[in-house]
Amino acid sequence: MSNASLCAERDGITGLTMIGFGPESSTLKKLFSEAIGTVTIRRPLSETFNSLKRVYKKCSVKNWDGYDALPITPDAYWEAASFIKGLPSWLPKPDISGGPDGEIVLEWYRDSSRLFAISITGENELIFAGLFGPNSISGTIYFGDSIPEVIIDHIQKVG
């Protein structure tokens, strides 16, 4: 029993009591915490999808902004959904809005001098731009099955 240690405590989220002995118990406890953590992080993800649906519904008609905006297409919607699904869970969730070119805009915003946004048009590309204090960037990158590293780097830079 020298390596064994009693592990009995109540999980803060589920309220379940976890009792066990030894390293296996610790491993299970860790796996359980990770699983619960995933559930906790995915809760805001459903809010992000609700926001995406609301923006799509509102902006899928011509001239939704009063200045001749193009309607958001179903392709843009599905591509944005795919992007959001592919976001690493540890990244902050984007704020979602429409753009006048018929795109869905995902934005990470700290203030008007520090923000990063991606426009998604349903053409397998991410049109991005950002302000980082005195510096600014913009570009277009192919979007296939996974989110390019450069995009993740820029999201992180917003802080």
Partner 1 sequence: MPPISSSENLSRFILDEDCIRKKDNSVRWQAFKPPIRNLRLSVFRTTDVVEGEIWHIGSSIVAGPQGKTLVGRADLIASVVRNNGLDVVSQEPPERHADIINWPERREVRNEIAMKLAKNAQFYRNE
- Of 6, 40, 51, give the one whose Cα is nearest residue 26: 6
Q: Please report, as residue ranges, which positions from 53 to 72 form the binding site for partner 1 (by CB under 8 A).
A: 55, 58, 63-70
Q: How far is the CB of 140 from partner 1 (least distance, A)?
A: 5
For residue 129, state whether it binds partner 1 (rule: CB under 8 A): yes
CA distances (Å), 129 to each of 21, 118, 137, 144, 155, in order? 52, 7, 5, 19, 11
Contact predicate 155/116, CB 8 Å: yes
Contact predicate 59/88, CB 8 Å: no
Binding mask 76-115 for partner 1 (x = CB under 8 A): -------------------x-xxxxx---x-x-x-xxx-x
Interface with partner 1 (CB under 8 A): 55, 58, 63-70, 95, 97-101, 105, 107, 109, 111-113, 115, 117, 119, 127-131, 136-140
